[in-house]
Amino acid sequence: MAFHLPSFTLLFLFSTTLLLCNAFPAHQNHHFHHPRFASHNYRDALTKSILFFEGQRSGKLPSNQRITWRRDSGLSDGSAMHVDLVGGYYDAGDNVKFGFPMAFTTTMLSWSVIEFGGLMKGELGNAKEAIRWATDYLLKATAYPDTIFVQVGEANKDHSCWERPEDMDTPRSVFKIDKNTPGSDVAAETAAALASASLVFRRSDPTYSKLLVRRAIRVFQFADKYRGPYSYGLKKIVCPFYCSYSGYQDELLWGAAWLHKATKNPTYLDYIQVNGQILGAAEYDNTFGWDNKHVGARILLSKAFLVQKLKSLHDYKGHADNFICSIIPGAPFSSTQYTPGGLLFKMSDSNMQYVTSTSFLLLTYAKYLTSAHQVVNCDGTIITPKRLRSIAKKQVDYLLGDNPLRMSYMVGYGPRYPQRIHHRGSSLPSIASHPAKIQCSAGFSFMKSQSPNPNILIGAIVGGPDQHDRFPDERSDYEQSEPATYINAPLVGTLAYLAHSFGQL
């Protein structure tokens, strides 16, 4: 896990440089007679983007585990507080379980399936498994009323070792929020995760779906009643790793939006109407990620107006349009920087998360606009859904190899991809090849080596290139070389859409 800069320190440099790279013909599918040429095998990328989550699993691994160099880990998690917190995901390249990004990852995986699951064919089951691995854990973490266990492991102590999750001997301390130490941000995001997942399982497992939505309601009430950022009471534990820089207002709006979608209960619509402005619905921020959910909430609520014709949410079309206008290269209010090679660039640390989350929002909003026969008007410049899809596709194509380095930033996809990702399990010998324990500090010799990682974490998307399209592929460079669950989660839906639209699914 890396140190994250607050989103409000970003420099939004105006740039209209969007060079269209020549299509890089990796994995062409000649047997599909489709009218449009696909430069990538989006179906293969979709399969791999979901497979990645199996490499991030904590707990007792199932018999159908496909990333087989991983083994069971963290089997006593929670015992420090006499609770069962076995399971869930390691967020990135270390062995801590951070509840805030895990919940956001779950919400984005669920949203991917809600919007594009119908196109996923054989991958739908795998996507649901990835969601369920998270929700089973989040149900454990929220088992007690007005309490959420939000972290297992101590980041500083974990980071002082370079060891496989299977060998972990750093403290598995458990940290929680409750009435006395509130955390509206992580609680409301957890509610969003449970509510969105309840929609995923509504038909296939109605009993599980009802459990998820009941828990979401209870967790959201706790988030709203006991207000405060979790990084106030737990500052020494969660900062600077997953400090809540944007406050908790965005999560309350986001959580309410998901509960409205999952329950159709008018009290959530009332909540959104009464509190929307206070919770920052109209702010001009345009960064969507694990910390700031404003833009996602705007797009989600715009659907209720555009598709379900909820007139009271009319303003959210305008709020969503403002976000779109800030992203479009060359539009009157564009405030987004692109690299010379055409990649959306927000910040040096784990930039690819903004590429995948923004691409997902562009495709999802294009879907809503198409359904309502609407467009975006950026001060006289008309932006069609087709334009939004085109921008999203260019971002994904860059990620998959259409870039100045001709490198795929998804591990295991294409002929050239990162070999030395910042990831303990991937960089150390597997249990199968090296059964003896590798001690805390002994692992650093592997971390510092120039050899490629012995275990390929298929589907992992790394932080990505810098603002000049450069990527050193160095293991120590966590800002560019570390993968994370919340980078992959939004891309799942985007790849399903692209694979379907090019006749690959």
Report the b/e string of 424-459 with b at 16+ CB within 10 A. Answer: bbbbbbbbeeeeeebebeebeebeeeeeebebbbbb
Catalytically annotated residue among 44, 294, 482, 500: 482
Q: Give CA–CA dist 211/502, Å, rounded.
A: 37
From 473, 477, 479, 500, the catalytic residue:
473
Task: Look at phi and psi of residue 404 and say left if phi exceeds 0, alpha if psi is from -120 to 50, else beta.
Answer: alpha
Structure tokens at 461: 């998307």
Is residue 482 annotated as part of the catalytic site, yes or no?
Answer: yes
Cα separation of 334 and 435, whole Å? 54
The residues, any chain, with a CB within 8 Å of residue 29's CB and separated by 6 or more, are 38, 41, 502, 503, 504
For 431-483, the DSSP string reads: TTT--S---TTTTHHHHH--SPPSS--TT-B-S---TTS-----TT-HHHH--
CA nearest to 374, candidates 301, 334, 330, 318: 318
Assign residue 146 a region (left: φ > 0; alpha: ψ between -120 and 50; beta: otherwise). Answer: left
> Would you call 72 a catalytic residue per the annotation?
no
Residue type, 52: F
Indicate the angle between helix axes 249-263 and 206-225, nearest 10 degrees: 150
Distance from C-alpha of 34 to C-alpha of 184, rounded to nearest angstrom: 48
Burial environment of residue 64 by CB neighbours within 10 A (0 to 12, 13 to 18, 19 or more): exposed
C-alpha of 384 from chain center: 26
Catalytic residue among 27, 422, 423, 500: 422
| Cβ 254 vs Cβ 247: under 8 Å | no
Instruction: Please state, as a whole number, how many other Cβ atoms lie within 10 Å of the Cβ of residue 160.
Output: 12
Distance CA 271, CA 267 (A): 6
For this structure, is 189 an active site residue? no
Query: Cα 381–386–388 angle (5° rounding)?
Result: 70
Residues belonging to the active site = 422, 473, 482
